Amino acid sequence: DIQMTQSPSSLSASVGDRVTITCRASRGISNYLAWYQQKPGKAPKLLIYVASTLQSGVPSRFSGSGSGTDFTLTISSLQSEDFAIYYCQQYNNWPPLTFGGGTKVDIK
């Protein structure tokens, strides 16, 4: 199975900051990677798929990049509504679908 490792596991940032989250696959997954945002008590929300394609309705301050084993999610200017947990997920070689452990973004 492909393992997904996110870093950092948590970070503190201020509104307006640029934030970068990393996701690493245990072997190459081409660009078959998605990013999700989850707020407390809610279901995850799809942000990005195919590593860099923004889901409809997602603000353009979110962007994704990478291919192979290393991927990043960037929030160009953090807003108050962006404080949440972010997960990556690979779907190149499934089953199983596998998720990273999550990155919690909270207020500095």
Contact footprint for other proteins (CB under 8 A): 32, 34, 36, 42-46, 49-50, 55, 87, 89, 91, 94-102
- Indicate the residue among 55 and 76 with the shorter CB distance to other proteins: 55
- Indicate the residue among 61 and 101 with the shorter CB distance to other proteins: 101
Look at residues 44, 18, 23 and name the one whose alpha carbon lies nearest to residue 33: 23
In the sheet where 62-67 sits, what is the strand order? Answer: 4-7, 19-25, 70-75, 62-67
> What tokens appear for 32 in the block?
């078959």
Output the smallest distance, CB 90 to other proteins, in A: 9
